[in-house]
């Protein structure tokens, strides 16, 4: 008997009908929650969010089960909470970090999480935070603390009511944050469901390899201590690209530098010393200091705390999933060979390979993309392999070449600023705008662009590591904690495929997809069938006529479906 009939899922699913493949997905979700670690690969746009919420609604009612539903970005948390409102039997709360929720300007202005937490703790202990202790007058069924108004701390107020809910939705880096994890233990969840789980290992490894910008560190330390300035000058004069520094020596040096620092440096001192003391190796490689951390337990140990774990992804093949998650694993794939109206291309005469970059090549690609944008009906996204490549396009004069509104994702953008920019970009779809972002960034993986919100995705360059110590350390760590033979290439291809799929979020969307780097031929096996079917190898100059042909043939269909595309129900976006 199907899990769907046992659960009577029609009583929980709030929409008139399911999308193609959605019933199979919900059935797979219910089967997977019977124990162990499970992976479901399903295409983006299938309606995964509403499918997961249907399963949560059923099992929380039948079994009294409690869930953690982990997603990648803050905007995805917001989308889940918006969808929750349509499921009347679910009680769900969003668990967000202090950076999103704090309303005390003395804390909120601090960008470093460690320093922010220290300032928050100091103010609370001294009774100097006017918003703490906090109370919630009325908890909502779908409770998102970011929507709270008033003079009470939304962060600690939400922690205080979490146990009264069936499910918690959060960004999955918070699964490894000590304060929030201690709260989750009190919630006592049965099941863990993680969306976009192909990024999970990368986030887990980011706890092991930490980088600190030497320039920012130097601005503080050089004013306090000549010995730090001497160390940096010696490194520069030596011509050595990287230098491993004995941990105890560096801790001793910084303690000496900070011993006579004014009280205003107290929090900074605790932060940098805690980072060094928690490291087993320290490497100076300008512009960064690389810290290799000690870590307790494995990712698999964290997952085994739950009765059952479900890992969901649209770009996680069985071979790669089994290579990343060690131990016994159940794998299931929801396969749809045709998905939207798509034309895919690999440019064979261009690369962003570090040794082959030049101003002339950046000008060539910038001018081609500017001309290409004029052929696109709706919005276009350009996702570079790095901020350096993005800047190379801008330095080539791209802003002056295009006539359409241009939106640029900056490295230092906070989530609120990025969200506002993305909303404005989407609103420009009737006239057509251009989004310039990076692969693996929040706009290339955390956002959906249905209909005219994005009809063309240009993936510029393959995101391979620079030939430096940091890149080698990351590769060694991947090989130590996984069974992947070429983790750097796999991660690069995965980020590229995620970015490429942004326009095609349902079977009705159209997508002109161009991989602009000859090395993308290595990624063919990681592309979903609907993306790689009929893929063509072309020259850079062929992209413009190819786009003109693609959009000219489909313009009547595009404009006929514009009104519907702008108002697609949430179940089809997720």
> Per-residue pLDDT for 309 more than 70?
yes
* Exposed/middle/buried for residue 275 (C-beta within 10 Å: 0-12, 13-18, 19+): middle
- pLDDT band at residue 559 under the 50/70/90 scheme: low
* Average pLDDT rounded to a whole number, residues 389-405: 97
Does 338 have pLDDT greater than 70? no
Q: What is the spatial distance between Cα 462 and Cα 456, in angstroms, rounded to a whole number?
A: 18
Please state which of the ranges 98-102, 136-140, 154-158, 417-421 shows the lowest mean pLDDT.
Answer: 136-140
Average pLDDT, rounded, for the chain: 89
Listed range (299-313, 325-339, 475-489, 494-508) with the worst mean pLDDT:
325-339
Residue 95 in this model has a pLDDT that exceeds 50: yes
Average pLDDT over residues 470-499: 92
What per-residue confidence (pLDDT) applies to 364?
Answer: 98
Query: What band does 574 get if pLDDT is binned at 50, 70 and 90?
Result: very low
Residue 563 pLDDT > 50: no
Whether the per-residue pLDDT at 538 is higher than 50: the answer is: yes
Predicted confidence (pLDDT) at residue 452 exceeds the cutoff of 90:
yes
CA neighbor of 70 nearest in space, from 199, 183, 157, 159: 199
Cβ contact 279:293 at 8 Å: yes
Q: What is the pLDDT of residue 44?
A: 76
The class level of CATH for 341-573 reads: alpha beta
Residue ranges, comma separated, of all CATH 3.40.50.300 domains in the chain are 3-205+298-333, 341-573
pLDDT digits (tens, 9 = 90+) for 116-145: 999 999 999 999 999 998 877 778 999 999
Q: What is the mean pLDDT of residues 509-521?
A: 96
CA–CA gap between residue 506 and residue 46 (Å, rounded): 7
Angle at 452 between CA 449 and CA 458, to 5 degrees: 65
How many Å apart are CA 109 and CA 259, to the nearest integer? 26
Tell me the CATH number of domain 3-205+298-333, given options 3.20.20.70, 3.50.50.60, 3.40.50.300, 3.65.10.10: 3.40.50.300
Beta bridge pairs of residue 212: 289
> Could you tell me the two tokens for 561?
């479906």
Q: Residue 556: pLDDT above 80?
A: no
pLDDT in tens, 248-280: 999 999 998 888 888 888 888 999 999 999 999
Banded pLDDT at 303 (limits 50, 70, 90): very high
> Is residue 290 within 8 Å of residue 282, measured between CB atoms?
yes
């Amino acid at each position: 008997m199907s899990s769907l009939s046992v659960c009577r899922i029609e009583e929980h699913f709030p929409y008139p009908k399911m999308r193609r493949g959605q019933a199979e997905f919900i059935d797979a979700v219910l089967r997977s929650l019977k124990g162990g670690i499970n992976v479901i690969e399903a295409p983006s746009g299938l309606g995964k969010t509403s499918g997961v919420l249907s399963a949560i609604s059923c099992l929380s009612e039948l079994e009294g089960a409690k869930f953690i539903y982990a997603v990648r970005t803050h905007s995805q948390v917001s989308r889940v909470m918006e969808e929750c409102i349509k499921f009347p039997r679910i009680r769900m709360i969003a668990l967000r970090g202090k950076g999103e929720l704090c309303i005390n300007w003395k804390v909120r202005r601090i960008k470093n999480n460690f320093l922010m937490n220290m300032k928050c703790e100091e103010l609370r202990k001294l009774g100097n935070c006017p918003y703490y202790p906090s109370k919630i007058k009325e908890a909502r069924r779908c409770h998102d603390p970011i929507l709270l108004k008033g003079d009470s701390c939304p962060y600690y107020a939400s922690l205080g009511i979490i146990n009264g809910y069936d499910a918690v939705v959060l960004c999955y880096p918070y699964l490894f944050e000590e304060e929030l994890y201690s709260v989750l233990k009190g919630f006592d969840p049965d099941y863990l469901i993680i969306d976009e789980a192909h990024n999970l290992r990368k986030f887990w490894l980011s706890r092991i390899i930490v980088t600190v910008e030497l320039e920012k560190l130097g601005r503080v330390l050089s004013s306090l201590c000549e010995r730090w300035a001497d160390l940096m000058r010696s490194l520069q004069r030596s011509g050595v690209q990287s230098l491993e520094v004995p941990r105890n020596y560096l801790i001793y040096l910084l303690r000496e530098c900070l011993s006579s620092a004014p009280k205003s440096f107290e929090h900074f001192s605790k932060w940098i010393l805690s980072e060094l003391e928690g490291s087993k190796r320290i490497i100076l490689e300008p512009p960064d200091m690389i810290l290799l951390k000690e870590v307790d337990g494995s990712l698999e140990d964290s997952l085994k705390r739950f009765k059952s774990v479900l890992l969901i992804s649209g770009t996680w093949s069985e071979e790669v999933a089994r290579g990343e998650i060690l131990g016994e694993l159940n794998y299931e794939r929801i396969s749809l060979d045709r998905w939207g109206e798509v034309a895919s291309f690999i440019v064979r005469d261009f690369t962003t390979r570090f040794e082959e970059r030049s101003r002339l090549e950046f000008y060539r690609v910038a001018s081609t993309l500017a001309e290409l944008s004029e052929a696109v009906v709706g919005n276009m996204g350009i996702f570079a392999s790095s901020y350096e490549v993005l800047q190379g396009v801008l330095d080539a004069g791209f802003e002056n070449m295009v006539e359409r509104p241009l939106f640029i994702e900056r490295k230092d953008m906070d989530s609120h600023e990025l969200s506002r920019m993305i909303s404005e970009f989407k609103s420009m779809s009737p006239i057509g705008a251009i989004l310039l972002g990076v692969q693996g960034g929040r706009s290339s993986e955390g956002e959906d662009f249905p209909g005219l919100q994005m009809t063309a995705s240009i993936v510029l360059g393959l995101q391979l590591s620079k030939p430096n110590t940091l890149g080698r350390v990351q590769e060694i760590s991947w090989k130590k904690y996984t069974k992947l033979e070429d983790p750097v290439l796999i991660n690069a291809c995965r980020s590229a495929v995620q970015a490429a799929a942004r326009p095609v979020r349902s079977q009705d969307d159209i997508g002109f997809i161009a991989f602009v780097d000859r090395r993308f031929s290595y990624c063919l096996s990681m592309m979903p069938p609907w993306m790689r079917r009929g893929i063509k190898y072309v020259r850079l100059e062929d992209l413009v006529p190819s786009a003109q042909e693609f959009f000219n043939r489909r313009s009547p269909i595009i404009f006929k479906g514009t009104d519907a595309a702008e108002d697609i129900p949430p179940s089809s976006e997720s």
